Each structure stands twice: as structure tokens, then as C-alpha cells.
Amino acid sequence: MKIELNGQPVETGAMTLAALLLEQNIDASCVASAVNGEFVPRSRYADFALAEGQQLEVLSPMQGG
């Protein structure tokens, strides 16, 4: 299926958000995610089903000051 990940088109076979993060080599323990603008709690990654055309944002916290 085709989705958008951080503004880039991605072709994926992943069926859940957790599977997509694993497929993309993204450490799920240190990112925040939103699908179509809605925050997804980390506790739901494993059962959050992906669908064609969804827009995902995966953000890592930054340090600075």
C-alpha cells in the first residue's frame, strides 16, 4: 500500500504502525507519531491498522537550548 511518511511517499507491506516503524528501522520507543494529524499513543502502535493514503508523521525529540 502507499502511504506518506514525514512528507515522503512510501510503499509498504506493513499492516500496523508498529510494523511500519520496524520496517523503516525507526525505534518506536523514542518517537511520537501522528496519523492524519491525530496523535497515536505508543501503547496503540501494535494494533493501529494502516490504510492506503494515510499521512504519518514520526518525530524524534530534540535537545537544545
List, for residues 46-62, the tens digit of each pLDDT value. Answer: 999 999 999 999 998 77
Instruction: Look up the pTM and report it.
Output: 0.90
Q: What angle do CA 33, 46, 7 make, to 5 degrees?
A: 30
The predicted-structure confidence for 1-27, as pLDDT tens digits, reads as follows 999 999 999 999 999 999 999 999 999
Alpha-carbon span 58 to 15, nearest angstrom = 16
Backbone angles phi, psi at 61, to 5 degrees: -65, 145
Q: Which domains does the chain have, with CATH numbers?
A: 2-59 (3.10.20.30)
Whether 14 and 23 have beta carbons less than 8 Å apart is answered as yes
